[in-house]
Amino acid sequence: MLGSKINQQDTLGTAARYDNPQGKKWFNSRVGRKIYIEPVALTYIQNLNGYDEHQVCKGIEDLARVPAPMDGLVNKQNPAFFKAKEASATVFNFLIKYSLTSEAIIVSRVSLDRVVLGAKLNGVGERQSLYSVRKRNSAASFSASSSFDDIEELGRVWETGPAVTKVKTPHAAVNGMLNDLTKASWLMGVHAEAAYSADKIDDYTLFHNPTDGGRSDFLESVKDNLGSTTPLAEHLAAILLDVQQSGEPVKWVVHSQGGIIFKQAVAHHLKHYPNHSLNKNSVVFHAGGNNKKKTNDLLGRAGIRKESQDNDNPFDMVSNLAGGNDLSPSSVRRSLQFAGKVIGSEGAGPAESPHTLPFISLEAYHGFLVMAKDYKSAARVQRYMDKHTAK
């Protein structure tokens, strides 16, 4: 970690020397400036989770390597006339303030970059990050008796706050595919309330899984499901460990692809810290695309408790097929019959999807389909209920 790279004996004013691995001799020439980090910036970096810390340090090393980095680009001025000029650069999600001499880069401040973070038009260019989300003054909630107007109101109940570096709320969430930040904020607020109905949730922390389109999101899911860790899962693993080290318990709810990311984050943690418990974290999976058997094994090894058992809609292709949890012929048939509602190709609202909103019961889902006047789908659900009730 960062502490092992700091040489407090080698200082430049108040700044401590950071061991720059790129500042080594190579064929009798030195590549990269010396790096010094001022106390305020050093404290900030040391308080980041491991993933963010690594990204910031790597970015600083990259800045030290280029001939004359100004605002993240190579400065065209003659380096001989370059005298400790102030500059800034975006590194991952962070804004780095620094100055340069011919021999050194001095980092004075590090902070979240509010320009690159936050909601973007159509979700394009949004970044993986933690966000605070709070509930507005509204009594709206999702239940079996919700009307379509009530469900539309849910999108106005939750408000996205600023990006944050730590989970400091009792509840946290990871969203699924094709969710921009605005949608993820309200949808995961609804899922959090459903997962922890006995808790009063006024705010929560969202680990936003940004969307790059259906194909990219799908490939991310496949990669994590096959055990090849994505940056999203690696980032979440560091957040889970940071929660553990804080000592304050956090209840997570993860939806759809969020379940896959969470599963692989735990696997990544166990690979690197096999004897380090994550028992300050607990979780509820909603319509997860993760394999339940593999996930339960990983959670048990990490000490993460499930706050409730998985309760998935039997018509949901994500939990059935993507997670490989029910590949029987009848499950495949049901899943494909309702696939259009999951991917949105039929123009169905969120309540008509067996996947988007929290699954309450088949009776409630049947009622939503009748409300939408989709009597064909409602009849299929009714036949399934009759068959399984008879058993």
What are the pLDDT digits (tens) for 332-382? 999 999 999 998 776 788 999 999 999 999 999 999 999 999 999 999 999
Q: State the pLDDT at residue 390.
A: 62
Q: How far is CA 247 from CA 172, 243, 277, 388, in A?
A: 15, 7, 12, 44
Q: Is residue 319 part of a domain?
A: no
Out of 104-113, 177-186, 215-224, 256-265, pick the least confident.
215-224
The residue among 26 and 89 whose pLDDT is bigger is 89
Same domain for 260 and 354: no
Q: Is residue 228 part of a domain?
A: yes
**What stretch of H or E contains 119?**
none
Q: Is residue 355 part of a domain?
A: yes
Same domain for 74 and 195: no
Percent pLDDT > 70 in the chain is 90
For 125-151, the pLDDT digits (tens) are: 999 999 999 999 777 889 999 999 999
DSSP-derived 3-state class of residue 83: coil
State the pLDDT confidence band at 26, using cuts at 50, 70 and 90: very low
For 300-323, the pLDDT digits (tens) are: 999 999 999 898 999 999 999 999
In Å, how far from its chain's centre is CA 49? 14
Percent pLDDT > 90 in the chain is 71
Decide if pLDDT at 73 tops 50: no
What single string gives the DSSP state of each residue in 190-254? HHHHHHTTTS--SEEEEEE-----HHHHHHHHHHHHTT---HHHHHHHHHHHHHHHHT--EEEEE
Distance CA 170, CA 246 (A): 12
Same domain for 75 and 219: no
Same domain for 108 and 132: no
Please name the residue ranges forming H helices in the chain: 39-46, 50-65, 148-154, 181-195, 214-225, 231-246, 257-272, 292-302, 317, 329-337, 339-343, 362-371, 375-390
User: Which candidate, 253, 258, 139, 133, places its Cα nearest to that of 195?
Assistant: 253
The predicted model gives 156-185 an average pLDDT of 96
Q: What's the whole-number average pLDDT of the chain?
A: 89
Q: State the pLDDT at residue 357.
A: 97
Please say whether the beta carbons of 10 and 104 come within 8 A.
no
User: Which candidate, 141, 183, 172, 139, places its Cα nearest to that of 356?
Assistant: 183
Q: State the pLDDT at residue 139.
A: 75
Q: Is residue 318 part of a domain?
A: no
Distance CA 83, CA 102 (A): 7
Decide if pLDDT at 9 tops 80: no
Q: State the pLDDT at residue 325.
A: 96
Q: Can you give the residue range of the structural domain that contains 139?
A: 121-311
Same domain for 131 and 258: yes
Q: Is residue 43 part of a domain?
A: yes
Same domain for 173 and 97: no
Nearest-5° Cα angle at 346, 344 to 349: 60
